[in-house]
Structure 1
Amino acid sequence: MTTKPLVLGVLGGMGPAATLAYLARVQALTPAERDQDHIRVIADINPQAPDRNVPGSGAGEVLAEMAGALAGAGAQVLAMPCNTAHAHAGLIQRASGLPLIDMIGLGAAAAAGTGARRAGVLGTKGAIRLYREYLAARAMGLVVLPAEAQEAFMATIYKIKAGDTGEEVRAEMRAHAEALRAEGAEVLVAGCTEVPLVMGPRDTRLELVDPGELLARKSVAVCLGWEAKPAIS
């Protein structure tokens, strides 16, 4: 490496298992022959951050405080492996003065890159609102679960957060994906970082876009100088 890698700051803990999966990907995707070739990562894995799915929970203020602390500790660019929390991206960047790699943008761009016209998103209501905007900007339609099925999906997500990644939960996630396909989805976006913990490309008849994996790849590329650091939006 000819230049010193940027220091990556990670706002994590939402949930912890998804954050650890992201960090493992960053490590695995970094070409290294020795410890010193890896990216320095400063991570705040904070499961006590308020629930991003509860309006008025104060999650934004907590995330802004975390981001400011990461900047103070030496982080130079931020990543956050939680789709729903990207609703607070502006506040996070203003509080820290650092750019945040946009996971929603990465996921929407990848969905558009498949040539599909309608993307099904498995995510929280907050994440779906974000993807609706990003997909519309790419002239793509959004396919979501009906209200009752969306509630069932959230129940599955909370089982995963509680540590259940067994076959019953995996079958539930496959069923949610199939429901989106039946509704007309042509590509599937894992719009919640818990989804890939129990479902991979072989578990759905749709092409699966994993924004968490895309975020890890982008994080490595930016920190190693392969791609430009994003601007603060």
Structure 2
Amino acid sequence: MAPTIYLVRHGEAEHNAACDLSIPDPSLTNKGGEQCRDLASSFPYKDRIALVVASPMRRTLQTAHWAFIAAAPGEEEKEKHLRHNILALGELQECSVFPCDTGRPVEELAAECGDLLDLSRVEPHWNSKRLLYAGTQSAIRERAQRAREILRELAAALAGIEGGDDAYIVVVSHGTLIQYLIERPDAIRKQFGNCEWRSYKFVDLYGTDPTTAGLVETNESFYRWNGPLNMRSPQEADDLVAAEKCRQ
């Protein structure tokens, strides 16, 4: 076994509803907030989450907090032991250079979020939209690759802890960036909807070669979104992992 990665797209945000890319770092809409609350109540593995990771944008941080960290009304004490800080990764930000996909300075994030947000891995120029964070295809692919390497490092560290093999890592990001994260033959499917989640395992959890930090969707996730008429066998998933290792 190895830690499972749950990739989640944020809830509906203001720029989604208004189709307005000029809104700076938009917040979730009321509908987006409801989607998060629905996700909080329907996600079946909340008590097994070991780490919550998110893009440092408002909509992804709000989604991570409301869906996976904040206790439901009346359950504050019950879920007190389940709360986590959010680990922010600038590599998980959305791809375009429009205002809606441009984040805020680290200092502003720290002042607004306080102890809730771990910014130790966010570079000072993460919102510059230059170099690694540019909107070019090559930069986005490199950024997605780095994000996979970081997530693999985090998953491998968890696996080394007693009981960590069964731990879950929730990663809240953006529709387009997620497609780059899962750019593998078995993952060429429609883009994630708002607050949609799917689960993945690393092809080579303990590898050191950056090119082997690939993600393969779990059978449970594949079955849930494809339906009984398009199911693959458990052996097919194992074969995908083996084929990916041979391809590298």
Scaled by the length of structure 2, what TM-score is found?
0.34
Scaled by the length of structure 1, what TM-score is found?
0.35
